[in-house]
Amino acid sequence: MAPSVERELPTEGPAALPYGLTGYCGTFITDLFPDDSGLDAEGVAKEARRIRGHTSFRDRSKAIVSEVNAGKWAGYEDLRREEWQVDHIVAASRMVKLPGFMELDPVTRARIANMNENTRPLHQPWNSSKQDLSYAQWPTRSPTGSRDAPTRAEWEQLCEEERRATIAGSSYFRVR
């Protein structure tokens, strides 16, 4: 089972993320993290694939399907399953680069990347457009308002989810 974290989160102003990670996205942006993995691009891609192939991701994917069917994710309950995908809010390839992440054992890395706070359904065209970008970076690739991107309000909500996922994930290891 993936770890779960409950946190009291700031509701206004710049949020002080653990260990000095700060930024803005609309109201909050999580900036790119420094690459502390010691891996080349091929190594990062290989570890990201391993994380997405871990049983914790398959288990979380099944849980998200149940959550969508139960109406937890507004706007997804009427879509066919092939119209949305399970998204890592903080992409696995970005999480691999977080300082200290690769020092954790492989099972812990997969559980952190695949935890409830870091996964959600996302419209298939949005997920394809986003790829491994942060939500904060995504509009530079596909400006909001285009067919394959969320509205401004949806984007700001996604940025808030990214902030929460960053806080939850970084609580498991020391980010310098």
**Every domain of the chain and the residues it spans:** 18-170
How far apart are alpha carbons 153 and 133 in whole angstroms? Answer: 19
**What pLDDT, in 10s, does the model give residues 8-60?**
333 333 333 333 333 334 333 334 455 667 888 899 889 999 999 999 999 99
pTM for the complete prediction?
0.75
Residues 6+ apart with CB under 8 A from 72: none
Q: At what angle do helices 106-113 and 41-53 cross, to 10 degrees?
A: 70
